[in-house]
Amino acid sequence: MTKLLASARNHKYLRIAEAIEAMIQDEVLNIGDRLPSVRVLSDEYGISMGTAFQAYYQLEGKGLIESRSKSGYYVRFNNKRLPSVPGISSLKPVSSEISMADIVTQVYKNVSDLDLINFSVATPPMDLLPAAKLNKSVLHAIRSSKYHGLNYEHYQGNLELRKQIVKLSFNWGGKIKPDDIIVTAGCMEALSLCLRATVKTGDAIAVESPTYFGIFQLLACLGLQAVEIPADPVNGIDVLQLEKAIRQFSVKACLFVPNFNNPVGSCMPDEKKKQLVELITRLKIPLIEDDIYGELHFGKSRPKTCKTFDKEGWVLHCTSLSKSLAPGYRIGWCIPGRFTEKIKSLKMVLTIAAPTLMQVAVAHFLSIGRYEYHMKNFRKALYKQYLRYVQSIIEHFPEDVRISRPQGGYILWIELDKRIHSLKLYHEAMKYGISIAPGQLFSSKGSYEHYFRLSFGKQFDDTIEYGIRVLGQLIRKSRL
């Protein structure tokens, strides 16, 4: 009973905070406006003073309001102040071999340096991950497993884990069975298996432009050609343009990140996903869907996947828990549709099975509802950080910068004045112990020279504020 009452109180303060946030976004309340005092808010909504304070603390944590000593609370920020969105690439689709190893090596050789202000790595903030609860699940796995996790697991993956993944798929409208799933060592192994199962050396693969550099590295490793399809920074690829490129370059497969693309943060509307699946089904071309950021949505519901609309098995859905729960556990999976049997065989040959202990531990963690609870809080924290980072960028960067509008994940794509070379900016920033990811990393042709990716995964604090301020100063200096 006590827990129910506490839950009701929590729900009430969140509802009040959301109502005030909506008034700020609709400009009923403008920047600089004074908010009702805590006592007045308490009287207006019939709530306790403590609940009123909690509502204001929630808004203050997002950076939307601020407390002024002996004066009260005032509106501080409105999303409508955001700069313009980065432009769509003017590049035309072209088939090319991939050669970007030198830039990747330059940027990530010091990635583990704890003294760096590291905006270049897209990993979840360790302090927001449920380490203690995961440890309990690991201990449970050791104690409950017949051989304490020392044995080989089934090559397709732990059955209980696959059952839990089936339940997770309900969030995006999945209609799958445990036998449809193959557990992998992270999402990259899933992508690699799917490529090996669907194409051969020398084939052309359509990818978004820009997209995650690891995808280009994987294509290069397998001897494949990349055909970059320019993507809208809000809605993703244009399906008609994709169809033209498929015919022009004899594309044999597509590899896209439809939900919260890395680095632009775009999310394809469900209708476009449906059109995309209809296209690849009609042309009988496999679509490898990297959905690794799908669970990290800021809205009330998870976006659907391309797999949601797949009726004939041409979509190979790939994802993992590396961005949301435990990167080091290396728990990923694929749902490869009509290619399942071929990928089972490849899995047995290449890695035999994913680690037993981690599969059992994660299955236990999911089964007792801890993942759902963690994600609810994790998404809220990421959204708060997104707002705080953007506010700081607006304050410290030149007014002409363009910033993406991700509706999930923890990555910003920033467009600078065309005179600024982001790789040079990276080297200048490193002199101050600040790392960014230059735009050239996200194209096989070294394009996007005046763009860069900035991760907002780390909790916003004075150090982050300093790093953004210094970047702003360096950007201004580069324009002179």
**Span 263-285, pLDDT tens digits:** 999 999 999 999 999 999 999 99
Closest to 25 measured CA to CA, from 101, 94, 92, 77: 77
**Residue 133 belongs to some domain of the structure:** no
Question: Which whole number is the average pLDDT over 357-373?
Answer: 96
Task: Give the angle 356-361-366 at the CA atoms, nearest 5°.
Answer: 125
Residue 228 is inside which H or E element, if any? strand 225-232
Residues 331, 391, single domain; the answer is: no
Residue 412 is inside which H or E element, if any? strand 411-415
Distance CA(288)–CA(305), nearest Å, equals 11
Residue that terminates a domain, selected from 347, 368, 389: 368
Instruction: Give how many domains the chain has, as a whole number.
Output: 3
Residue that terminates a domain, selected from 318, 335, 368: 368
**Span 127-142, pLDDT tens digits:** 899 999 999 999 999 9
**Residue 446 belongs to some domain of the structure:** yes
Backbone torsions φ then ψ of 75, nearest 5 degrees: -70, 130
Residues 354, 380, single domain; the answer is: no
**Residue 203 belongs to some domain of the structure:** yes
Residues 262, 380, single domain; the answer is: no
- CATH, residue 280: 3.40.640.10
**Span 296-346, pLDDT tens digits:** 999 888 999 999 999 999 999 999 999 999 999 999 999 999 999 999 999
**Residue 86 belongs to some domain of the structure:** no
What's the confidence (pLDDT) of residue 393?
94
- CATH, residue 61: 1.10.10.10
Distance between first and last Cα of the chain: 65
**Residue 90 belongs to some domain of the structure:** no
Domain encompassing residue 13: 2-80
Residues 262, 344, single domain; the answer is: yes
Does residue 291 sit in helix, strand or coil? coil
Residues 113, 228, single domain; the answer is: no
Residues 69, 109, single domain; the answer is: no
What's the confidence (pLDDT) of residue 90?
58
Residues 178, 198, single domain; the answer is: yes
Which one has a higher pLDDT value, 435 or 115? Answer: 435
Residue that terminates a domain, selected from 313, 333, 368: 368
pTM of the predicted model as reported, rounded to 2 decimal places: 0.85
**Residue 169 belongs to some domain of the structure:** yes
**Span 153-194, pLDDT tens digits:** 999 999 999 999 999 999 999 999 999 999 999 999 999 999
**Residue 46 belongs to some domain of the structure:** yes
